[in-house]
Each structure stands twice: as C-alpha cells, then as structure tokens.
C-alpha cells in the first residue's frame, strides 16, 4: 500500500512573517533584500537530488506562492512549475484572513490566483491562508473564488492565529475532507497524544522538536493515515538572513531557532522516509479520488 508524504512550501520572505509585522510595515517591504529566490532554489535542488522509491520517482511539492513575490519574481514561479512541482496560492499580501474585509479578502484570493495562472499558463487550484487563519465562512469564500482545495487547517490550538473549523462531521477520503462537491480541505498533519495535540506538521516545530521525536511522530501519523502533510518556508534554510533585533525575545526565538540545522534535517527526512511517495497536494487529491473511482467501478 502506498504511503504519501505531501511536501508543501509557503513561499514568503524573511521580512514578511507575521511575527515581524509590528516592526516591518508593509510600506517598507520594497526596501528589504529579497532572499527567497536563492533559498527556494536550494529547496528545488534538494528535491531534484533525492529520488525516492528506489529511484523511480523524484519528490514533488506544492509551493504556496505569495502574490507580492510572484509579481516581482515571475521567473522563479515558472521555474517551480518547469521542474514539475505544483504552484498554488498563499494570497497576495500575507494578511490574516479574518482581519480582512470580505471584499478585500475576495480581491486578494482572486488577484493571487489569476496572477499565478498568468505566469505559468496553467490552472491554480490550491490555497493556503497566511498563518493558517481560516474560518468556515472563509473556506466558502475560497471556494467561491474558484479554488478546488484549501490546505490551511491546523488542529494545534495553542497558536491563536490558527483558524477553528469543524471537519469531523464531513466525509473523508484519506486525509482529504470533502467540504462540498467540488472543494476539499487538506489539513496539516498533527498527532493526538491523550488529550493533547503534538504539532508535527513542520515549520518551527520541525526545528524545535528533537529529530528522533519528530520522526517517531511522523511514523505514527503514517501508520494511522497512510499520509502525512508537511510544511516549511524558504527562509528556514537561510541561517545568514538579517536579524530583526527590535522583535520580542519570543519572536526571535521562534523565528531563528536552529535555522542552521533545517537543511540537513530536511535531507535526512528524505532518507528516513524513502519508502514513501513524496507528492504534491494536487497529486495526493488525484490519487485518493482515483482510488475512489476504481473502488466504485469494482
């Protein structure tokens, strides 16, 4: 039986993260050094270098691209697409969805989708909200803007920015949740331990939690679901990025912790789980849908 690992990359630069917004206003963004192109190429090259499943298949990933960056770096977007990865939307401005006026949010969703489609000349069907900030109403707006799936639900409830939605009453196929006839939710993977949720989806938790514990958790998730969804950011493989010294001690800790270890941990991640298929979100959705079709035909 196939076991799937969905690789996802939230393509935003070091100065665009939510923790630094009190210190770096949007109006200052154009004055900062763009390091995301170099860091994304490091990830692309790593993915190319590690063919898994006995050399039969190279890893594929979903790159949730921030529109503000795509407009400035269209060649990077095309390169992601050219190498066979999925291009999806991370919105345009990286604003938390619940804080946007509905009309402004719809503009952001539509603008980023069309921009990316114009760049790559292909449909963009996936979306991830900045900081996983969704609600059930926002999911409906995402669908209304023409997306086929969202990947923004994070069940870890100790981060106040993460959205709260009910999915347990909806039909599941693998880990994909059927929100409506033509719209799916792909939640970030976490592990329930008793009454607690262990955050194992990636990001800062990938850098914070000891590697053996993280690997144990992924194996437990794979044994449970036959699928695991991982996320990260290009700035997490860039230990030489500028420091925002005026940020709070906690924000600096969360952002800079173990940046010098991320790349090697990621490389080991491929070796540890080389018996799995490393796929994009779209590939996974197609695989579980095709499996349903085959079962119905039988």
Tell me what percent of the residues of the chain surpass a pLDDT of 70. Answer: 95
* DSSP states of 146-178: T-SEE------TT-TTS-----TTS-EETTEEE
Of the pLDDT bands very low, low, confident and very high (cuts 50, 70, 90), residue 54 is very low
Residue pLDDT, tens place only, 2-45: 899 999 999 999 999 999 999 999 999 999 999 999 999 999 99
Residue pLDDT, tens place only, 81-122: 999 999 999 999 999 998 999 999 999 999 999 999 999 999
**How many other CB atoms are there within 10 angstroms of residue 102's CB atom?**
10
Q: pTM value?
A: 0.94
pLDDT score of 158:
63
* Confidence check: pLDDT of 241 > 50: yes
What is the DSSP secondary structure assignment for residue 203, as one 8-state letter?
T
User: Among 221, 234, 244, which Cα is nearest to 4's?
Assistant: 221
What average pLDDT does the segment 190-206 reach? 89
What is the DSSP secondary structure assignment for residue 263, as one 8-state letter?
H
pLDDT score of 52:
46
Specify the pairing of strand 196-198 against strand 191-193.
antiparallel
Q: Which domains does the chain have, with CATH numbers?
A: 4-297 (3.20.20.370)
């Amino acid at each position: 039986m196939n076991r799937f690992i969905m690789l996802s990359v939230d393509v935003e630069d070091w100065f665009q993260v939510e923790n630094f917004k009190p210190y770096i206003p949007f109006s200052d963004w154009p004055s900062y050094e763009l390091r995301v192109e170099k860091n994304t190429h490091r990830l692309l090259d790593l993915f190319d270098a590690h063919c898994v499943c006995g050399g039969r298949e190279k890893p594929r990933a979903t790159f949730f691209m921030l529109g503000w960056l795509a407009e400035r770096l269209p060649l990077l977007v095309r390169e992601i697409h050219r190498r066979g990865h999925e291009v999806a939307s991370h919105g345009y401005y990286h604003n938390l969805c619940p804080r946007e006026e509905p009309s402004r949010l719809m503009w952001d969703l539509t603008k980023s989708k069309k921009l990316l489609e114009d760049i790559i000349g292909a449909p963009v069907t996936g979306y991830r909200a900045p900081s996983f900030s969704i609600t059930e109403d926002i999911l409906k707006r995402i669908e209304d803007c023409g997306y086929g799936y969202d990947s923004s639900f994070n069940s870890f409830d100790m981060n106040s920015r993460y959205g709260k939605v009910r999915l347990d009453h909806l039909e599941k196929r693998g880990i994909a949740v059927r929100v409506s006839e033509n719209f799916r939710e792909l939640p970030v993977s976490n592990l329930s331990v008793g009454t607690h949720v262990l955050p194992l989806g990636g990001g800062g938790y990938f850098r914070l939690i000891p590697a053996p514990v993280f690997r144990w958790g992924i194996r437990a998730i794979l044994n449970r679901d036959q699928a695991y969804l991982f996320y990260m950011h290009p700035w997490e493989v860039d230990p030489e990025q500028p420091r925002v010294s005026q940020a709070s001690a906690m924000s600096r800790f969360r952002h800079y912790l173990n940046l010098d270890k991320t790349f090697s941990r990621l490389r080991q991640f491929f070796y540890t789980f080389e018996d799995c298929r490393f796929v994009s979100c779209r590939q996974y959705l197609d695989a579980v849908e095709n499996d349903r079709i085959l079962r119905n035909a039988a």
